[in-house]
Amino acid sequence: MKAMVVRAPGGLDRIECAERPDPGPPGPGAIRVALHASSLNFHDLGVATGGMRAADGRVLMADGAGVVEAVGEGVTEFAPGDNVVSCFFPDWQDGAPTIPDFSRTPGDGIDGFAQEFVTLPATAFTHAPRGFTHLEAATLTTAGLTAWRALVEDGGLKPGDTVLALGTGGVSIFALQLAKLAGARVIITSSSGEKLERARDLGADETINYRETPEWGARVRELTGGRGVDHVVEVGGPGTLPQSIGAVRVGGHIHLIGVLTGRGGEVPTALLMAKQARLQGLIVGSRRQQRDFVRALDGGGLRPVIDRVFALEELSEAFRHQEGAGHFGKIGVEW
Ligand SMILES: NC(=O)c1ccc[n+]([C@@H]2O[C@H](COP(=O)([O-])OP(=O)(O)OC[C@H]3O[C@@H](n4cnc5c(N)ncnc54)[C@H](OP(=O)(O)O)[C@@H]3O)[C@@H](O)[C@H]2O)c1
């Protein structure tokens, strides 16, 4: 069977289509899945380009969706024909987070889902939402669940809250959609006026071009009558955190998710303290959280926004499209 692997030390020209042995039938507690889709995340790009120092020949991609072909002895949660979606932390089933790294994350510490078939413990998957295509389901593992956990699980998002989403990438567009679904008001930033228009079409209430308005924290305060926002979906990291601290309300919540502007920098600690804001780092979520997220999506209120779709063999091209940062929402891969 076909698998897209990256050769050490990484690089988009070092992604190869390799022939791998079929994973075979499922043993007790396992399921065999015919995979059909994945989606790109900043993390996958890091693995592909060598930034995460993945093993030579690692099968890429944390996100995977497909159909169950066979179930092993003792598996009651799934049946052949069920549509399923993979879990970012296959070992984190429920409860408080305990895993501080990516050593067991598919497509990084272990082989991922850019391949035709896998046979894995049933607990490495959840059902896909009713009516979702494989491509849509494949956007949930990383970007979707991160936005869900931040806003709904950790943030207790409720109608009337105001959410600030930074940029129009995968996590931020899910945050926009979930916030609107929950009856919240959304302010979103982007480097592109055209993308801001598209965000308005999805329900964004206010938009800010962060290139034209570098002091966007002050603009957010203006747009909220001086109060600030309840939630900041912080995907920028050090380059955006000072503005995010300026934008959050007293007692609000900054969900520290991303590192798009770098890995370290200065934090205006006195302002953060004065804001009495919660600054919380998080990495994706547990399988139980994914099941809750899927149940919410079964209601049909949200469809993932997919910018462009590539074939499995075109994975390097898909990553180049991601590097170009012209995308809005998710980039998909389908086979
Ligand atoms: N902690 C977690 O669990 C978790 C999970 C998923 C992702 N992440 C992280 O979150 C970040 C975003 O991931 P993603 O998959 O959503 O990425 P993505 O789809 O590649 O999004 C990239 C977008 O971010 C926006 N952006 C870049 N620099 C920005 C800045 N200075 N200010 C505001 N927006 C900026 C741009 O939007 P515009 O083009 O509109 O300007 C860009 O298109 C990454 O750092 C990723 O590693 C973390």
DSSP output for 27-82: -TTEEEEEEEEEE--HHHHHHHTTTT-PPTTEEP-S--EEEEEEE-TT--S--TT-
Q: Check whether residue 245 and residue 189 sit in a common domain.
A: yes
Mean pLDDT score, 161-181: 98
Closest CA to 136 of 85, 89, 172: 85
Q: What is the pLDDT of residue 273?
A: 98
Read off the amino acid at residue 57: G
Q: Same structural domain for residues 74 and 127?
A: yes
In this predicted structure, what is the pLDDT of residue 53?
A: 83
Are residues 91 and 204 located together in one domain of the fold? no
Shared-domain flag, residues 165 and 69: no
| Backbone φ/ψ region at 10: left (φ over 0), alpha (ψ -120 to 50), beta | left
125 and 157, same domain (yes or no): no
- Residue 292 located in a structural domain: no
135 and 74 belong to one structural domain: yes
pTM of this structure:
0.98
Cα distance between the two ends of the chain:
13
Where residue 93 falls among pLDDT bands split at 50, 70, 90? Answer: very high
Rounded to a whole number, what is the largest CA-CA distance in the chain? 61
- Does residue 223 fall inside a structural domain? yes
Indicate which residue's Cα is closest to atom 9 of ligand 1.
Answer: 258
User: Would the pLDDT of 71 be above 90?
Assistant: yes
Residue numbers of the domain that contains 320: 2-139+304-334
Whether 27 maps to a domain, the answer reads yes
Q: For residue 77, what pLDDT is reported? A: 98
Taking residues 293-318, what's their average pLDDT? 96
CA of 144 from ligand 1 middle (Å) equals: 13
Is 286 within the bounds of a domain? no
Asked if residue 320 is part of any domain, the answer here is: yes
Specify the ligand 1 atom closest to the Cα of 43. 47
**pLDDT at residue 52 in the model:** 83
What distance in angstroms lies between residue 177's CA and the mean position of ligand 1's atoms? Answer: 16
* Ligand 1 within 6 A of CB of 325: yes
Q: Is the peptide bond before 304 cis (omega within 30 degrees of 0)?
A: no
- pLDDT of 229 reads 98
- In angstroms, the CA 244 to CA 237 distance is 10
> Positive or negative CA dihedral for 52, 55, 57, 62?
negative
What's the length of the chain? Answer: 335
Q: Are residues 54 and 120 in the same domain?
A: yes
CB of 246 closer than 8 Å to CB of 274: no
CATH of the domain at 109: 3.90.180.10
Residue 100: pLDDT above 90? yes
Whether residue 113 sits in one domain with residue 49: yes
For position 116, what pLDDT does the model report? 98
CA of 171 to the centre of ligand 1 (A): 7
pLDDT at 51 over 90: no
Distance, CA of 192 to CA of 326 (rounded, Å): 9
**Angstrom distance (rounded) from CA 100 to CA 298:** 30
CA 142 from chain centre, in angstroms, equals: 3
Q: Is 190 helix (H, G, I), strand (E, B) or coil?
A: strand
Number of structural domains found in the chain: 2
Looking at the structure, tell me whether residues 127 and 165 fall in a common domain: no
Give the position, in ligand 1's atom list, of the atom nearest the Cα of 329. Answer: 19
Q: Please give the mean pLDDT across all residues of the chain.
A: 97
Are 73 and 150 within one domain? no
pLDDT band at 107 (very low <50, low <70, confident <90, very high): very high
Q: How far is the CA of 148 from the centre of ligand 1 (A)?
A: 15
- DSSP-derived 3-state class of residue 6: strand
- Please write the tens of the pLDDT for every residue from 229-245: 999 999 999 999 999 99
Determine whether the shortest distance from the Cβ of 144 to ligand 1 is under 6 A: no
| Residue 256, beta-bridge partner list | 234, 281
What CATH number did the domain enclosing 249 receive? Answer: 3.40.50.720
One domain for residues 117 and 177: no
- The answer to whether residue 288 sits within a structural domain is no
Cβ neighbour number for residue 129 with a 10 Å cutoff: 23
Any domain includes 289: no
Give the model's confidence band at 18: pLDDT under 50 very low, under 70 low, under 90 confident, else very high: very high
Q: Is the pLDDT of residue 198 over 90?
A: yes
DSSP at 110: B
Q: Do 85 and 102 sit in the same domain of this protein?
A: yes
Position 54 scores a pLDDT of: 86
Residue 252 β-bridge partners: none
Atom in ligand 1 nearest the alpha carbon of residue 285: 3
The residue nearest atom 37 of ligand 1, judged by CA position, is 167
Mean pLDDT of 22-31: 98
Residue 133: what pLDDT? 98
In a domain, 233, yes or no: yes
